[in-house]
Structure 1
Amino acid sequence: MFFSIDPDGDIPIYEQIVRQVKLAVADGILVGGQMVPSVRQLANELAINSNTIARAYQELQSDSVLEPLRGRGMIVRRDAIKRCTKARNTLVTESFRRALSDALAGGMSADELRSLFEAELTRQQNELEEAAKAGGNGST
């Protein structure tokens, strides 16, 4: 599993891990029953303290996203997708609200924001479509 950790960011590292695991579940990258890397393995991969990973995993367990598999490690709960999708939607909504608030406070008009949103949405969708085409062009 690939994590993008910003050690100098405003969000604590353990919370970045929690968010990224939830997003991966919501996006279907991690699925119910799938094992996640061990605390030690992930700490080594990310070069961060194992207590930070353990804290993230504990929170994910408390949030009913991960569950221990006796003697084997942690797995994604089979019923985690609904909670993770809801968490993703909440994160996106909060980010969107902050961006709108900043833009309006900075003097942007509603029409400017609509235009900006539509242009960026179109750009992002085109990028996703291009990536899907590039990924699906392999020969068999």
Structure 2
Amino acid sequence: PDMLLECNTVAMYAFFSSWRAKMDEFKAASIKPSEDLSPPLAITQSVSRLNDIVSTLDNSLIVDSSSESQIHAVIEVILTPLQQLCTTMAKSLPVLEQNIFLANCVDALRAPLVPYAFASSRVQSLVEQADGYIDSYTQLA
């Protein structure tokens, strides 16, 4: 059991480090929002990876309190920098377009999590954020 725990710890550290490096690359690339205000390729590719990771975790783990906290940590390590990247990209847009772009990004981040009960609270949070951007857009339009 100690060996498995140690392997898991090393694997999680490697994953988190690798993901952080990828997000740093995206930030350094100064990615701009697309003209149609859809999430850029960096976001859609990351969301696809998130979908693969969450599906793999769901299929390979018995979801108990300890594995669920690990799943939540993985989701946060992926989502938080992606949301920050979207927010940074949105700053280059006019205010009205910022809300559309951010709602689109948040919806893209939400989509792969919807099928999983263990992600329901994060899905709800993302829905509320997207609704907030849509409300802001409606008030400004």
More strand by share: 1
**Structure with bigger gyration radius:** 1
Structure 1 or 2: more helix by fraction: 2
**TM-score, structure 1 as length reference:** 0.31
- Please, what TM-score do these two structures have when normalized by structure 2? 0.31
Higher relative contact order (CA 8 A, sep 6+): 2
